[in-house]
């Protein structure tokens, strides 16, 4: 019996051990199998290569932006520069360095200093200067000589506030302008009250029509000395135009009459009382009290009856009478 048991037990152990062998089956099915499936999936690229082939067509040649093609040397001197990416969201593609706007008569209006901005912004500036500002100068009997660049590309927050939202300057999508200089030596200072209001209003109408953001005096306190222009994109093409064209300061009326009337005594009488006693005191001190002699020094002074009363008071006889 023991032998049979052993014999039976032996195959039973063998079966058990054989039964444990297939245990690892699930393992290879999980990890290795998946890995093996993934690898071939990647190697199947050649099958998908047909798609990329079609997708590569637009990527192969860097598409020349329509803006770049349109912004020729007959419109502006604005050579392309390398794209800027970072830090953060700063920079952009399709950047140019706007050096001058070329007017229809081929004269150049330099942007000083030259500014880095997106091609679309440079194109908008060029169109603004060519179409609206150049004729404005012509109407004044002169021509534009220079466009002031107060700030262009600058990787910073709005209004230079740390932690604020990214400024359009950081996206190379803005330009700050203080003045348009003229060939006759004058300039159109955009935020100065002395500049004729009509001129400033014409510029306001022009920029608020062309740019999506215009900030100037009265907007937020940061634009009292320049005008901010940008092409920020908003839903519904929403635009912001905040520029109060202040009135010219009124001429201050003179506080004093231009010519003093010859009748100066009235003012002196106001100052005279304190000055009289010291001048009159030495002469009148001994004989009689103060009030007697100061009077002859000032004949025009009216009140003579008062001193008479004093004389009467000082005279014992008069008093007795």
Q: Considering only 20-28, 168-176, 255-263, 280-288, which stretch makes contact with Zn ion by CB under 5 A?
A: 168-176
User: Which of residues 109 and 229 has its CB atom nearest to Zn ion in the complex?
Assistant: 229
Nearest residue relative to Zn ion (C-beta): 228
C-alpha distances out from residue 230 to 170, 177, 193, 203, 241, Å:
11, 11, 24, 15, 11
Tokens standing for 151? 């700030």
Shortest spacing between CB 212 and Zn ion, in angstroms:
13
Site string for Zn ion, 185-224 (x = CB under 5 A): ----------------------------------------
User: Which of residues 80 and 242 has its CB atom nearest to Zn ion in the complex?
Assistant: 242
Tokens standing for 273? 């009382």
Residue in 204, 232, 203, 228 with CA at minimum distance from that of residue 214: 228
List the interface residues with Zn ion, window 217-236 (CB under 5 A).
Answer: 228
Q: Is the distance from CB of 212 to CB of 233 less than 8 angstroms?
A: yes
Task: Compute the distance between CA of residue 187 and CA of residue 203 in angstroms, rounded to an integer.
Answer: 13
CA 275 and chain centroid, separation? 60
Shortest spacing between CB 256 and Zn ion, in angstroms:
45
Q: Considering only 101-109, 174-182, 238-246, 266-274, which stretch makes contact with Zn ion by CB under 5 A?
A: 174-182
Shortest spacing between CB 250 and Zn ion, in angstroms:
31
User: Which of residues 230 and 293 has its CB atom nearest to Zn ion in the complex?
Assistant: 230
Shortest spacing between CB 209 and Zn ion, in angstroms:
18
Task: Compute the distance between CA of residue 240 and CA of residue 233 in angstroms, rounded to an integer.
Answer: 11
User: Does 118 interact with Zn ion (rule: CB under 5 A)?
Assistant: no
Q: Is the distance from CB of 202 to CB of 140 less than 8 angstroms?
A: no
Phi, psi of 284 (to 5 degrees): -100, 0
Q: Which residue has the tokens 């300039």?
A: 187
Burial class, 207, CB count within 10 angstroms (exposed 0-12 / middle 13-18 / buried 19+): buried
Q: Which residue has the tokens 């140019």?
A: 96
Shortest spacing between CB 158 and Zn ion, in angstroms:
9
Site string for Zn ion, 121-160 (x = CB under 5 A): ----------------------------------------
Q: Is the distance from CB of 178 to CB of 189 less than 8 angstroms?
A: yes
Number of residues that bind Zn ion (CB under 5 A): 2
Shortest spacing between CB 174 and Zn ion, in angstroms:
5
User: Does 176 interact with Zn ion (rule: CB under 5 A)?
Assistant: yes
User: Which of residues 200 and 228 has its CB atom nearest to Zn ion in the complex?
Assistant: 228
Pairing of strands 227-230, 174-177: antiparallel
User: Which of residues 159 and 206 has its CB atom nearest to Zn ion in the complex?
Assistant: 159
User: Which residues lie near Zn ion (CB under 5 A)?
Assistant: 176, 228
């Amino acid at each position: 019996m023991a032998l049979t048991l052993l014999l039976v037990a032996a195959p039973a152990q063998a079966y058990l051990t054989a039964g444990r062998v297939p245990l690892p089956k699930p393992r290879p099915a999980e990890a290795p199998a998946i890995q093996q499936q993934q690898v071939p999936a990647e190697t199947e690229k050649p099958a998908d290569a047909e798609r990329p082939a079609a997708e590569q067509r637009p990527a192969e040649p860097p598409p020349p932006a329509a803006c770049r093609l349109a912004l020729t040397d007959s419109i502006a001197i604005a050579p392309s520069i390398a794209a800027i990416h970072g830090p953060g969201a700063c920079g952009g593609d399709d950047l140019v360095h706007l050096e001058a706007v070329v007017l229809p008569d081929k004269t150049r209006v330099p942007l000083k200093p030259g500014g880095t901005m997106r091609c679309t912004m440079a194109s908008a500036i060029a169109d603004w200067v060519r179409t609206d500002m150049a004729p404005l100068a012509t109407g004044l009997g002169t021509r534009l000589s220079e466009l002031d660049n107060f700030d262009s590309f600058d990787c910073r927050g709005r209004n230079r506030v740390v932690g604020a939202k990214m400024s359009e300057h950081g996206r190379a999508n803005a330009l700050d302008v203080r003045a348009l200089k003229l060939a006759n030596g004058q300039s159109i200072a955009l935020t100065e009250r002395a500049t004729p209001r009509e001129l400033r209003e014409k510029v306001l109408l022009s920029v608020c029509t062309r740019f999506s953001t215009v900030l100037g005096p009265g907007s937020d306190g940061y634009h009292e000395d320049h005008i901010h222009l940008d092409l920020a994109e908003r839903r519904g093409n929403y635009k912001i135009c905040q520029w109060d064209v202040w009135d010219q300061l009124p001429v201050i009326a003179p506080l004093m009459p231009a010519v003093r009337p010859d009748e100066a005594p009235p003012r002196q009488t106001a100052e005279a009382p304190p000055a009289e006693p010291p001048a009159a005191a030495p002469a009148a001190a001994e004989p009689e009290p103060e009030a007697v002699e100061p009077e002859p020094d000032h004949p025009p002074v009216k009140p003579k009856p008062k001193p008479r009363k004093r004389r009467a008071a000082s005279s014992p006889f008069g008093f007795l009478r």
